[in-house]
Amino acid sequence: MALIRLRVLVWIIAALFAVVEGRLVLLQFVTRDFWESEARSSRTGGRAVPFQRGSLLDRYGRPLAEGETVHQLTFVFQEFRRETPVGQLLGAGRILLDAAGQAERPMTVSALASRPDEWVSFVLATSEEQIERLPSYVREDLEFYLRRLLDLEAKDFRAARKEQADKAAPAHALVEDSLARVEEAARRQLGAIADLAQAIETSPAEFIDLIDEEIAEIAAAVQRALAGSPDPESVKQQRAVQKDYESRQRVLERSVTYRAVYLVSLVPERYRGFEIRDVQRRSYPEEFENVSPTLLGWVGFPTDEVLKVAEDDWLLFQELRSRPPEEIDVETAEHIDWLKLQIRHVDYTADEEQGVTGLEGLLEPVLRGRRGWQIVEQDSAKRDTRLLEMTPPIHGLDVRLTLDVELQLACQRVLEQGRQEGAIVLLDPRDGAIRALATWPSPTRQEIKKEYSRLIADASHPLSHRAFRPPGNPPPPGSVFKVVAAAAALESGRVNAGTAFTCDKYLAVGRTQLKCMGSHGTVTITTALEKSCNIFFYRLAGVVGLEPIAVMARRFGCGEASGFGDPARLGLPAGAVSIGEMACPLQAGSGVTFAMRTAIGHAAIDDVTPLQVAALMAPLANGGLRVRPWLIDTIGGERAPREAPASIGLSANTLSLIRQGMIAVAETGTAHPRDGTDLRPYRVAAKTGTPQAEGEKDHAWIAGYFPHDDPRLAFAIFLENVGVGGGAACTPVLGALLAQPEFEEEFAP
């Protein structure tokens, strides 16, 4: 019998040994990778390394927008809750209120700051009986808070509780004078928070409210994440999600004074949970701060929709990673790796600036870089001890523009002085490089920042860049278009230098009476351009017809956008958005009067932008080559795509006759010297226009190029609803522009 018992005992021992050995094998081989990963995560920390946003430079490399380093104050709730007396009181108080069915009772930093003695007494009144009634995972959290508040090691805390015979005794009975000591510690920390509030130039109450708002947002984010998780009822899942959100850095202040940096850096243990980070922020050098904000655009922080993309990536990453190994195939594993890269390096974070409008928005894919990532070893106090892994950031690319900032500012000054809604465009007629795109009204960056809602509602549309995106319907070119009609007529062979028509101010076409601004007598094509004679061009259209004029308009580029802000044309990667340039297609129509009105810049060609009009002047200046305006010179030092000038088929005779007429415009024609303005010394070739605006005052144009014997700039000036002729309204503006120091230096008479 004894032998049988001995054998049974041996078998039991052998079975137990097999179980233990099997468990060891499981730990050593089967789950080793998992536990090694868990061990690493318990003593390592990961953090993003910010990139530097690329700069916007003018043609000479002068910075128009660049990055600057600012000091940002962040908040990590997990560290605050675990490592500070206020955070520990907050964590313990919430557990106790929830257990007592008083979750609706406010337990906030603000409430604690107003009555620290009351909350200390409430938390330290916790008895052993209360602790034992809690679920195990909640009990562990409460025990952690209590022992930290009582300043006891885990083993000493357990020993003291065992020695406490009275299970209803409060926790503060475990350590003598603990109530006073914890209250003093809480008041000291609240004093540190008040000091930090003053350093960031706000009141302690407002700063504490800000902290409470962030804590509330974290709780809401946890609930949102759990609602979309595969197992929202799982305690393990709940704690993992909570830990993730609470360990993230939350931005309290995007830019703080150096005094705040000094406080947090000098005594970091006094400010556990708060951290100063150096981050890149967009800045606009003071000298060039207001270089057309509606052109350069501005940056902003990501919208909720953009941030939701990042949140969805994170939730999917967590869900895929939590699947059992047998459910993770190669494709899923690759997707997990891709999501990790997106989360670490690509997805926008709440404190990362994003290009919103203008060139900042258009060029976002190249100006924005990629975050780097650090993995560091940390000690028990979460202090970094060693860098384990580093993926460096990839900085954004610098973009050099064709813009000449001095010419741009000169154009802006002239429009500002005249205080007339309109635009000025300058481009190099030799290749189409844009040198200036000015518009007015043009609010400053500060005005846009502070008064954006008012500006959006302003009837003058100050946020519309009139050079390439006029508000409402774009204006007609009016008589400026006559240079194109003249080119069509001369190239058709039906009109030549000797062709003459008589203008006596009116022309009857059936029942329609067409009108000229003057009575010019018998004129040829050059004189008709000089005097801007409508009757000549009405008769010209009657001889030539609509089709040759429409064909020539398309050769000049009428009816389509220049493409200077087209992402596809610029070769920008996915994510780029158009800058919003208008195309203004030609209008369909028929009949004699439709052709006649087209010839003077209405009807078929009833919409243009100042940029398109400036581009119309280039072939007349450069010998008959159409240029596509371009503004992006280089991206990251590499030449941006652009189109080479191409012939539109103008003969030397056609060019000569049109140029003669345009030179005469500035000498004796519609832009003749007046009121102290004389364009002749600058050798300007021009064409004026006065298109009618239905129900409004007439608009005004002047466009052309200079110097006419060596053209280096083509231009277009547009003034909206001025109610007087293009020559009278625009000639003084062009004269004032050419008299600016920036032009005097290069184009002095």
Confidence of residue 9 (pLDDT cuts 50, 70, 90): low
pLDDT at 37: 44
Structural domain includes residue 46: no
| Residue 29 pLDDT exceeds 60 | no
Structural domain includes residue 347: no
Overall residue count recorded for the chain in this entry:
749
CATH of residue 504's domain is 3.40.710.10
Structural domain includes residue 5: no
Q: What would the pLDDT profile of 676-732 be if each residue is shown by its tens digit?
A: 899 999 999 999 999 987 778 899 999 999 999 999 999 999 999 999 999 999 999
Structural domain includes residue 618: yes
Shortest CA distance to 565 belongs to which of 402, 448, 714?
Answer: 402
Q: What would the pLDDT profile of 326-356 be if each residue is shown by its tens digit?
A: 888 889 989 999 999 999 999 998 888 999 9
Last residue in a domain, options 206, 237, 270 = 206
Structural domain includes residue 197: yes
Q: How many angstroms separate the CA atoms of 361 and 297, rounded?
A: 7
Q: Quick count: other Cβ atoms within 10 Å of Cβ 461?
A: 19
Confidence of residue 559 (pLDDT cuts 50, 70, 90): very high
Last residue in a domain, options 178, 206, 234 = 206
Shortest CA distance to 78 belongs to which of 277, 253, 244?
Answer: 244
pLDDT at 358: 95
| Residue 30 pLDDT exceeds 50 | no
Structural domain includes residue 672: yes
Structural domain includes residue 236: no
Q: Quick count: other Cβ atoms within 10 Å of Cβ 190?
A: 19
Shortest CA distance to 552 belongs to which of 619, 622, 468, 477?
Answer: 619
Query: Facing residues of 424 across strands?
Result: 438, 717
Per DSSP, 433 falls in state B
Confidence of residue 669 (pLDDT cuts 50, 70, 90): very high
- Classify burial at 341, counting beta carbons within 10 Å of its beta carbon; exposed 0-12, middle 13-18, buried 19 or more: middle
| Residue 291 pLDDT exceeds 80 | yes
In this prediction, residues 620-648 reach a mean pLDDT of 95
Structural domain includes residue 583: yes
pTM: 0.81
Confidence of residue 650 (pLDDT cuts 50, 70, 90): very high
Query: Which amino acid is it at 143?
Result: E
Q: What would the pLDDT profile of 368-395 be if each residue is shown by its tens digit?
A: 999 999 888 876 655 667 888 889 999 9
Q: What is the distance of C-alpha 702 from the center of its chain?
A: 35
Q: Among 200-204, 221-225, 399-403, 520-524, where is mean pLDDT lowest? A: 221-225
Last residue in a domain, options 191, 206, 221 = 206
Q: How many angstroms separate the CA atoms of 628 and 39, rounded?
A: 61
Count up the domains in the chain and report the number. 2
Q: Among 3-7, 22-26, 660-664, where is mean pLDDT lowest? A: 22-26
Shortest CA distance to 317 belongs to which of 297, 337, 331?
Answer: 337
- Residue 180: which domain range? 77-206
Query: Which amino acid is it at 21?
Result: E
